[in-house]
Amino acid sequence: MSQSENLSGAGPVLVPILGDQLTRGLASLAGRAKDDTVVLLMEVWDEATYVKHHQQKIALIFSAMRHFAAELEQDGWTVDYTRLTDPDNAGSFTGEVARAVERHDPREIDIVEAGEWRVQQAIEEWPDKFVCPVTIHPDDRFLCSIGEFRDWAEGRKTLQMEYFYREMRRKTGILMAGDQPEGGQWNYDYDNRGKPDKNLNPPPAPKFAPDAVTSEVMGLVAERFGDHFGKLDNFAWPVTRAQAEQARAAFLTERLPDFGTYQDAMVHGSDDLYHSLLSTSINLGLLDPVETCKLAEEEYYAGRAPINAVEGFIRQIIGWREYIRGMYWLEMPGLREANALEAVRPLPEFYWTGETDMRCMADCVRSTRDHAHAHHIQRLMVLGNFALIAGIRPQEVEDWFLVVYADAYEWVELPNVAAMALWADKGRLATKPYAASGNYINSMSDYCGKCVYSPAKKSGDGACPFGPLYWNFLIRNRPLLERNNRVSRVYSNWDRMDETKREEYLASAEKILAGLVPASEGWARG
């Protein structure tokens, strides 16, 4: 029956809140009367299994949802919370909203747009499915709306993040001196290439021991999702806004000053370095991104953190994060199928097991398995880079990244993986592929010294696999990449190389590729 043929219900307004919308000031709650509203939170099977998320990721989301529901109730809201184990749980957002409509007879449903295209498609069908009117609010937790980003992108030849970021600086006034950037430069990335140093001693990020709510959820996850990737027992994520604020405060005082300098460094066994580890809290809605940037800005004006650190951190949030989200909505649904480099090789098994002699790769997979986290350069220049130069099919790599990180939602994972790491969008996001040999990893990490391979050995036994694969990648994609003036120079280097050396590179690459064992079925999807 269509909406127009029906009178809507006589009950309160129903406000469904999704698992990554855990924000008190959410647009669907703002200005609403508590005694006239039912807030609905839903643990549903479909969301927990559309890919087989890391066990810590499911525990984090369920625990944060349960804590958020309890806080809303304490504040006087009426909350209807459906647990995964409720016998009548319909298993999907639409099914659970339908059941809630029967329970509450709402006169209206108010929801904030979903982060993910897949979920948004389902929500957009609700006005035809339900008797009462459905209002879908823009998600104002982002600085730049989907429409604003579209306007910004329209008619531009290149969609470089840097220009978008300057707009966001102007819009917020963050690190601005009038209409000029603070310190005279928009971007201090040049100062952010510090190499790892033996004496680095970053203060560890706070760990949050599971409380009763998290422990109960961990039991549920172990029972229902024990076959999913990842270790569960060392769960230490912030699950409430108060904990997330504590984690943020510790970052701002203890690690922000060195964040910029060591942003690109990688150290074996050291998973956090000077990174904030705030992505899970920001993406869940526990921390406000702009507020977080303003607090970082205060550290600069108080003289407690240098400009390269503060600008670098702020750029990640109001620059990259907003830009990535804008690109997602600009490029979907096609981005999910994009494969400009026609990469078809299956994902190697070691992405799941960590069983490889490549020391960099093994360490990144270990961190991912144990903590549902790896930092940006590990994701981009080790895990993503290998997949790019080995020609792994983008959709398999995307599934992997969506499964394994506690901060992964498709809106942020997909552009980072498909466009930034794999260049599957043919350079709409990144002007050139982030392909690199072992020399880059060697210069930015302490991985190579104790590796069985050596980046100094260029081909044959004992050569770092990243070297031959790098050249194989460039030669394989020469017709497409040679025209790119940021890449063309490396082809001149190749052409000048001794022919025997070139043949050795290519033969080594073939051997490495032939030795990759494809992942067994069932890791990412059931």
516 binds ligand SF4 (CB under 6 A): no
Cβ-based nearer residue to ligand DLZ, 220 or 441: 220
Distance CA 103, CA 88 (A): 13
464 binds ligand SF4 (CB under 6 A): yes
- Give the footprint of ligand SF4 on residues 400-459 (CB under 6 A): 438, 441-442, 447-448, 451, 453-455
Cβ-based nearer residue to ligand FAD, 15 or 408: 408
Does the CA dihedral 226-232-238-240 come out positive or negative? Answer: positive
* Sheet hosting strand 134-137, strand order edge to edge: 78-82, 37-42, 11-17, 106-112, 134-137
Peptide bond connecting 333 to the previous residue in cis, omega within 30 degrees of 0: yes
Cβ-based nearer residue to ligand SF4, 367 or 442: 442
Cβ-based nearer residue to ligand SF4, 221 or 464: 464
Residue in 134, 148, 142 with CA at minimum distance from that of residue 411: 142
Site mask, ligand SF4, residues 309-348, x = CB under 6 A?
----------------------------------------
Among 9, 12, 19, 312, binds ligand DLZ (CB under 6 A): 19
DSSP 52: T
- Give the footprint of ligand DLZ on residues 352-411 (CB under 6 A): 409
Q: Give the count of residues interacting with ligand DLZ (CB under 6 A).
A: 16
DSSP string, 408-462: --HHHHHIIIIIIIT-TTTTSS-SS-----HHHHHHHBS-GGGSSSBTTS-SSTT
Q: List residues bridging with 16 in a β-sheet.
A: 40
Out of ligand SF4, ligand DLZ, ligand FAD, none, what residue 277 binds, judged by CB under 5 to 8 A for its kind, is: ligand FAD
* Amino acid of residue 486: R
Distance CA 467, CA 464 (A): 6
251 binds ligand SF4 (CB under 6 A): no
48 binds ligand DLZ (CB under 6 A): yes
Cβ-based nearer residue to ligand FAD, 99 or 379: 379
Cβ-based nearer residue to ligand SF4, 213 or 364: 364
CA dihedral 394, 395, 397, 403 (to 10 degrees): 160
Q: List residues bridging with 270 in a β-sheet.
A: 267
Buried b / exposed e along 46-81 (16+ C-beta atoms within 10 A)? bbbbbbbbbbbbbbbbbbbbbbbbebbeeeebbbbb
Among 14, 27, 39, 53, binds ligand DLZ (CB under 6 A): 53
111 binds ligand DLZ (CB under 6 A): no
Cβ-based nearer residue to ligand DLZ, 44 or 362: 44
Out of ligand DLZ, ligand FAD, ligand SF4, none, what residue 61 binds, judged by CB under 5 to 8 A for its kind, is: ligand DLZ
Among 22, 27, 38, 58, binds ligand DLZ (CB under 6 A): 58
- Give the footprint of ligand SF4 on residues 352-381 (CB under 6 A): 358-360
Among 38, 59, 72, 114, binds ligand DLZ (CB under 6 A): 114
Q: List residues bridging with 176 in a β-sheet.
A: 181
Cβ-based nearer residue to ligand DLZ, 58 or 422: 58
* Amino acid of residue 17: I
Among 329, 405, 466, 505, binds ligand SF4 (CB under 6 A): 466
Say if CB 13 and CB 34 are below 8 A apart: no
Out of ligand SF4, ligand DLZ, ligand FAD, none, what residue 278 binds, judged by CB under 5 to 8 A for its kind, is: ligand FAD
Out of ligand FAD, ligand DLZ, ligand SF4, none, what residue 438 binds, judged by CB under 5 to 8 A for its kind, is: ligand SF4
Distance CA 83, CA 414 (A): 28
Question: Considering the complex, what minimum distance in angstroms separates the CB of residue 82 from ligand FAD?
Answer: 26
DSSP 381: I
Question: Considering the complex, what minimum distance in angstroms separates the CB of residue 122 from ligand SF4?
Answer: 42
DSSP string, 114-152: PSSHHHHHHHTTHHHH-SS-EEEE--TTSSS-HHHHHHH
Residue in 296, 329, 512 with CA at minimum distance from that of residue 415: 329
Out of ligand SF4, ligand DLZ, ligand FAD, none, what residue 47 binds, judged by CB under 5 to 8 A for its kind, is: ligand DLZ
Residue in 55, 70, 14, 98 with CA at minimum distance from that of residue 232: 55
Say if CB 111 and CB 71 are below 8 A apart: no
- Interface residues toward ligand FAD, by CB under 6 A: 275-279, 282-283, 313, 316-317, 320-321, 324, 375-376, 379-380, 384, 401, 405, 407-408, 412-413, 416-417, 420-421
Cβ-based nearer residue to ligand SF4, 354 or 465: 465
Does the CA dihedral 458-478-338-168 come out positive or negative? Answer: positive
Out of ligand FAD, ligand SF4, ligand DLZ, none, what residue 447 binds, judged by CB under 5 to 8 A for its kind, is: ligand SF4
Binding site for ligand DLZ (CB under 6 A): 18-20, 42-44, 47-48, 53, 58, 61, 114-116, 119, 409
Q: Which residues bind ligand SF4 (CB under 6 A)?
A: 358-360, 438, 441-442, 447-448, 451, 453-455, 464-466
